[in-house]
Structure 1
Amino acid sequence: MLKTKIRTHRPSDASPVNAVHDVLYENARLYPMDPSLPSMEDTCFAVTDGRFSAIGAPVPATRRVDLQGRMVLPGLVDCHTHLVFAGDRSAEHALRLSGASYEEIARSGGGILATVEAVRNASEDALVESALPRARSLVREGVTTLEIKSGYGLDTVTELKMLRAIRRLDEHLPIRVRATFLGAHAVPPGRSKGDYLREVVDEMLPAVAEAGLADAVDIFVESIAFDIADLECLAARTRELALPLRIHSEQLSAMGGSAAGARLGALSCDHLEYADGNDIAAMAKNDTVAVLLPGAFYFLRETRRPPVAALRRAGVRMAVASDLNPGSSPIPSLLICAHMACTFFGLSALEVVEAITRHGAAAMGMADCAGTIAVGRPADFTVWDLSGPEQLVYQLGGLYPDHVYAEGEPV
């Protein structure tokens, strides 16, 4: 069981006890996931103007809600998805079941490039409509902060179309959606890597930045995609444009991309099955978040696990995400991936709850506004009829919160 303590936290001076708050939620078992706050039983918290305004004190409020002893967690954070796409790759799954590897399929023209063709042929409206059910599946589980990447366009027109679709999802959904530009996902057919990277750096990135369509930039550093020199080139341009950097690294081979990315200031390095001591040391030194993606590990039937014990010893923060995508993780469930992180990778229940709340927020550069319950933060929270957070990683599927709130509003 996760350790709980009954304790009272005094509201900040910005929310004095005698102020009248909007809503007071009473009789809660509260897990703030904020290092400065303990877990609390039989407690209360208040929300005013969409933000947490008091914790642990029975303040005056316009309305009171009795949570009847239910568990309260922060809104969940899915910090790595590719859920805007077209078509499906079920035929590739059949090939993998027959023994083909992800790399073999990719080099033969399948993989990412198969989805690229479908996305290029799809309208922006079609991309939005097909993505909404996937996103709503995550919201139903309690996700209130969601990251979505582009990367299935591989030309300027289509990458911008994908990013516009992601921005439209933010308008359709009652949660916060953040867009990541992943033009450096693969090299399109008929192009040299160097020529295509110049298009990404010199044409796509400035267009994305000028239109305000991305909150971060990502790159796939791997033998079938881009190398460290490409990463350095992209990172230099993202700095000029004041866009945060994230990296897919060490998924299929050890290339040193995680160490290089950490030194270049990346918010996160994602996958990490082949990360070594140098990668981990660099990530620890630069406070880079390790994003673990057990869905892809499972679906690709990989055998090499991320070095969780070494990451833990080094004090590297670990996030877990669904990696929802059509080819290697068609799993529209953050909670199933959280279960897998415990079962396959050896994370504890507490580590996984941190991984899908505050550490996921940190991987997105949103540690100050998502993933925790604290006075002054947006009131994103979930209410569960469960005995404790460990149940989230015990049961495989079928778990849903009783209520989800985003900025104080029911979802």
Structure 2
Amino acid sequence: MTDRLYDHLLVGASLATLDGDDYGAIRDGAIAWRDGVIAYVGPRSGLPGDPASIAHAVEDVEGWITPGLVDCHTHAVFAGDRAVEFEMRLQGATYGEIARAGGGILSTVRAVRDASEDALYAQSKPRIDALRADGVTTLEIKSGYGLDFENERKMLRIARRFGEGTLTVRTTYLAAHALPPEYAGRADDYIEAAIDWLPRLHDEGLVDAVDAFCESIGFSPSQTRRLFERARSLGLPVKLHADQLSDLGGAAIAAEFGGLSADHVEHTNEDAVRAMAAAGTVAVLLPGAFHVLRETKWPPLDAFRAHGVPMAVATDCNPGTSPLLSLRQAMQLACTHFRLTPEDALRGATTHAARALGLADRGMLRVGLRADVALWRVNHPAELCYWLGGDLLQARWVAGRRT
């Protein structure tokens, strides 16, 4: 039949639309979509007719409905693990000491280079599945553990494969993650190589954005700028691992290039916050790494609020510093460590996270946006940050398709 207003209609649950204050909450709500796009959001009493007469499929549900979660910063494609480093840190070794001893990122690089594309896909799939099962409908995946052309390409190809089903995947080129051993002492030469690989990978349709690790154990501000200039010439947006361990002005560099986001940002200064606000750059909080590394330096949360910088929340899922497989857990950690409210954290993992990926078509429940929807077995949306673990997700739809 073609005379129905909607393809699918959910009635009965409460809605956390995030389109307004107090979660944009609507009790005894209804949400409907057609062709994968939201066509009605509001109270059940406001529907333009009997549900069975206006929708091809109707479900009477309980709980709360939110936008699908958006994990805007992950390194979820990798091989092996670094559990031994977790023990080392507990015995007093620092992030920098582990990296300088040949561990850290480079140990994962060796594992990724040794893995075939199919093996790397198979090792990464359980992590992707875990994130999906906890409500994620849009996921960012970075390269950065290949550090040569073929292996960076391999990682990006795998990320694209994960986006072929009922999950949106945005790929980020992060060759400027660490200095590979074959370029020891030649960081400038390596950056030139990474710059040379970028247009080739972009031409293959593998790159949605460009990132770098701007840090004393990563790459310098000048090297980061060179890479970002090339990205800009290709029309690619940038984001940056900024000011995690020290203030090298990374967040200001991200803003200088109109960056989508500056991520970590524990040591970002207020001048850089002002620049982010002016550029529309999102601050991505990564409380998983803050927690695992037992950091004590908070991001400048008050400054972000004062200057109107949106704060996203992401897992930073990676093998070394944030082996975190739940965006809900990241939201809980953001509340516990950074004193975000549960509503702040939910907006951070939906509305603001979508913005951090340059996606304006999702992150709220609003007519005209994609029908990326999550249904939760909770009595209040604050429970999404309250419970430590647990199976709270009842169902998820991606562009109106149940998965």
TM-score, length of structure 1 as denominator length: 0.92
Q: Residue 212 of structure 1 is aligned with which of 189, 193, 205?
A: 205
Residue 384 of structure 1: CA displacement? 1.2
Residue 236 of structure 1: CA displacement? 1.0
Q: Counterpart of 1:54?
A: 40
SS at match of 1:154: coil
2: distance between equivalents of 1:396 and 1:24? 31
Q: Counterpart of 1:6?
A: none
Q: Residue 27 of structure 1 is aligned with which of 12, 17, 20?
A: 12
Residue 19 of structure 1: CA displacement? 5.6
2: distance between equivalents of 1:331 and 1:261? 25
Cα gap change, 1:399 to 1:308, in 2 (>3 Å)? farther
SS at match of 1:179: strand
Q: Counterpart of 1:388?
A: 380
Q: Note the 1:252-271 alignment, pairs <5 A.
A: 252-271=245-264
Residue 388 of structure 1: CA displacement? 1.2
2: distance between equivalents of 1:109 and 1:23? 53
SS at match of 1:290: strand
2: distance between equivalents of 1:80 and 1:399? 23
Q: Letter of the aligned partner of 2:384 in structure 1?
A: L
Q: Letter of the aligned partner of 2:378 in structure 1?
A: L
Q: Residue 38 of structure 1 is aligned with which of 15, 24, 39?
A: 24
Q: Letter of the aligned partner of 1:200 in structure 2?
A: A
Q: Residue 116 of structure 2 is aligned with which of 123, 132, 151?
A: 123
SS at match of 1:328: coil
Residue 24 of structure 1: CA displacement? 2.0
Contact 1:24 1:58 (C-alpha < 8 Å) held by counterparts? no
SS at match of 2:98: helix
Contact 1:370 1:378 (C-alpha < 8 Å) held by counterparts? yes
Residue 111 of structure 1: CA displacement? 0.6
Residues 170-224 of structure 1: per-residue CA shift (max 9 Å, x gap) = 12x421111111011011114111000000112x101111101011110110001
Q: Residue 304 of structure 1 is aligned with which of 288, 297, 301?
A: 297
Q: Note the 1:266-305 alignment, pairs <5 A.
A: 266-305=259-298
State, as a whole percentage, how many aligned pairs show the same letter. 46
Q: Note the 1:48-87 alignment, pairs <5 A.
A: 48-56=34-42, 57-59=46-48, 60-68=54-62, 70-87=63-80
Residue 63 of structure 1: CA displacement? 2.4
SS at match of 1:331: coil
Q: Note the 1:351-362 alignment, pairs <5 A.
A: 351-362=344-355
- Aligned alpha-carbon RMSD (Å): 1.4
Q: Residue 178 of structure 2 is aligned with which of 186, 190, 208?
A: 186
Contact 1:281 1:314 (C-alpha < 8 Å) held by counterparts? yes
Contact 2:4 2:56 (C-alpha < 8 Å) held by counterparts? no
Q: Counterpart of 1:176?
A: 168
Q: Letter of the aligned partner of 1:401 in structure 2?
A: L
SS at match of 1:186: coil
Farther-moved stretch of structure 1 (213-222 vs 89-98): 89-98
2: distance between equivalents of 1:161 and 1:62? 42
Q: Residue 368 of structure 2 is aligned with which of 334, 351, 376?
A: 376
Q: Counterpart of 1:198?
A: 192
Residues 23-51 of structure 1: per-residue CA shift (max 9 Å, x gap) = 22111211112349932111212111111
Contact 1:163 1:213 (C-alpha < 8 Å) held by counterparts? yes
Contact 2:261 2:283 (C-alpha < 8 Å) held by counterparts? yes
Contact 1:231 1:261 (C-alpha < 8 Å) held by counterparts? no
Farther-moved stretch of structure 1 (266-275 vs 184-193): 184-193
Q: Residue 225 of structure 1 is aligned with which of 190, 209, 218?
A: 218
TM-score, length of structure 2 as denominator length: 0.94
2: distance between equivalents of 1:262 and 1:242? 16
Q: Residue 327 of structure 2 is aligned with which of 304, 323, 334?
A: 334
Contact 2:69 2:363 (C-alpha < 8 Å) held by counterparts? yes
1: distance between equivalents of 2:40 and 2:389? 33
Contact 2:288 2:316 (C-alpha < 8 Å) held by counterparts? yes
Q: Counterpart of 1:402?
A: 394
Q: Counterpart of 2:51?
A: none
Q: Letter of the aligned partner of 2:80 in structure 1?
A: G
SS at match of 1:402: strand
Residues 252-279 of structure 1: per-residue CA shift (max 9 Å, x gap) = 1111110121121110000011111112
Contact 2:377 2:392 (C-alpha < 8 Å) held by counterparts? no
Q: Letter of the aligned partner of 2:72 in structure 1?
A: C
1: distance between equivalents of 2:38 and 2:133? 22
Q: Counterpart of 1:12?
A: none
Q: How many residues align?
A: 390
Contact 2:134 2:328 (C-alpha < 8 Å) held by counterparts? yes
Q: Letter of the aligned partner of 1:236 in structure 2?
A: E
